[in-house]
Amino acid sequence: MLKSKLPHIGTTIFTRMSTLAIEHKALNLSQGFPDFDAPEALLEAMTRHVRAGHNQYAPMAGVVHLREQIAAQILRHRGINSDPDSEITVVPGATEGIFCAVNACIRPGDEVIVFDPCYDSYAPAIELAGGKAVHVPLNAHSFGVNWERVSAAITPRTRLIMINSPHNPSGAVLSREDLLQLQDIAELHDLLVISDEVYEHLIFDGAQHHSVLQFVELRRRSFALFSFGKTFSVTGWKTGYCVAPAALTTELRKVHQFVCFVAVTPVQMAVADFMEAEPDYAASLSNFYQAKRDLFCDALQDSRFKFRPSVGTYFQLLDYSAITQERDTQLAEDWTQQHGIASIPISVFYEESPVQHYLRFCFAKNDDVLLSAAETLCAI
């Protein structure tokens, strides 16, 4: 019999809650995908390239035109020059890119620092590479990083630190000072960094996203991962990219070519055309999603939930401690079945969950869905 390499891993919480939502015809604010269409020009570009016969393998590193457009966007939005040939790799989703980055640099016995609550793909990727995930909890309620705890967690076996900002599931955002402290620690201990920045453009209230690419020493030792699915509302297209210095990119591509080899060709070509035609589209997202966040939060003002409006991503945490002390995993299922609204319990993102009472709701939904969801939640 096969002995599982991931014996403690089952079906992801996202699949379970979305399946439960379908079964009970619930409003699905659990899994993080929009329920509205992508920009029409992007959809038209996709159709055009499919019908033009651009349906065979792309270059392993990604369509050249797309890598050139990515470099142009990085310069436009971050003020950073990057080489599309040696530093940018198009991947079939940021999750695949993260997996490849982990497996490119982690060997058996290596330790990787991750921050709890952390996205559920990180630890399995580390484990499959033979490494050990060292879980450092974020500060309760603020979900900020305690850098003293990070320093204390470092051992001679520590090889890598993984960060995620804007942060899923909390919506917290790392500050410039956070990145400077990370840079100091990484340089002192000669650590690599994987930076999950898929929600880079979804940031609110005048806050700024700080990328590892903008810090000289961090850029030298970091893989930065991004998602077209999140930016262009096409999560099902599963296409993103990794930016890393040439030496790290070389190692990433060695793994990537034997995992998926290439991302989908017509998707790449459509995204490249859209980015060239609409170079400022990404800059419009903060206002668009902030309006949805505000609509949802304003409609919850008379509820019994406690919350602070999310600073980034398209997720909002709601503290239900004034309503019940029931465990979040059970409550998420109960409310899906009883009240017709699906959410994600955040305890599943912890190695050892502290006593917290949060559910995560996705507000990347049409306004009528958000208002209906808020009405249901206010009645609980």
Nearest in space to 360 (alpha carbons), one of 298, 307, 287 = 307
Nearest in space to 341 (alpha carbons), one of 5, 30, 2, 44 = 30
- Centre a 10 Å sphere on the Cβ of residue 55 and count the other Cβ atoms it contains: 11
- Tokens read off for 14: 């996202």
Is residue 156 classed as helix, strand or coil in its secondary structure?
coil
The answer to whether 342 and 301 have CB atoms below 8 angstroms apart is no
Q: What is the 3-state secondary structure (H, E, C) of 180-220?
A: HHHHHHHHHHCCEEEEECCCCCCECCCCCCCCHHHCHHHHH
CATH of 46-281, one of 2.60.120.560, 3.40.640.10, 3.40.50.1820, 1.10.10.10: 3.40.640.10
Up-side HSE of residue 16: CA atoms within 13 Å toward CB? 11
CA distances from 379 to 199, 315, 341 (A): 31, 21, 12
Where are the domains positioned within the chain?
13-38+283-378, 46-281
pLDDT of residue 354: 77
Is residue 225 classed as helix, strand or coil in its secondary structure?
strand
The answer to whether 158 and 191 have CB atoms below 8 angstroms apart is yes
Q: Could you read off the pLDDT of 109-149 as tens digits, one per residue?
A: 999 999 999 999 999 999 999 999 999 999 988 999 999 99
For 13-38+283-378, which CATH class?
Answer: alpha beta
Q: 214-227 burial, b for 16+ CB within 10 Å, e for fewer?
A: bbeebbbbbbbbbb
Terminal C-alpha separation, the chain: 48
The answer to whether 224 and 211 have CB atoms below 8 angstroms apart is yes
Characterize the bridge pairing of strands 88-91 and 240-243.
Answer: antiparallel
Mean pLDDT for the chain overall? 96
Residue 353 has pLDDT above 80, yes or no: no
Instruction: Provide, rounded to the nearest whole percent, the portion of the chain with pLDDT above 90.
Output: 93
Up-side HSE of residue 65: CA atoms within 13 Å toward CB? 14
Mean pLDDT throughout 320-340?
95
Characterize the bridge pairing of strands 27-28 and 341-342.
Answer: parallel
Beta bridge partner(s), residue 317:
360
Residue 355 has pLDDT above 80, yes or no: no
Q: Could you read off the pLDDT of 29-47 as tens digits, one per residue?
A: 998 999 999 999 999 999 9
Question: Which residue has tokens 């060695």?
Answer: 254
pLDDT of residue 12: 85
DSSP class of 312:
B
Does the predicted model carry a pTM greater than 0.75?
Answer: yes
Nearest in space to 85 (alpha carbons), one of 102, 71, 73, 96 = 71
Report residue 14's pLDDT band, with 50, 70 and 90 as the boundaries. confident
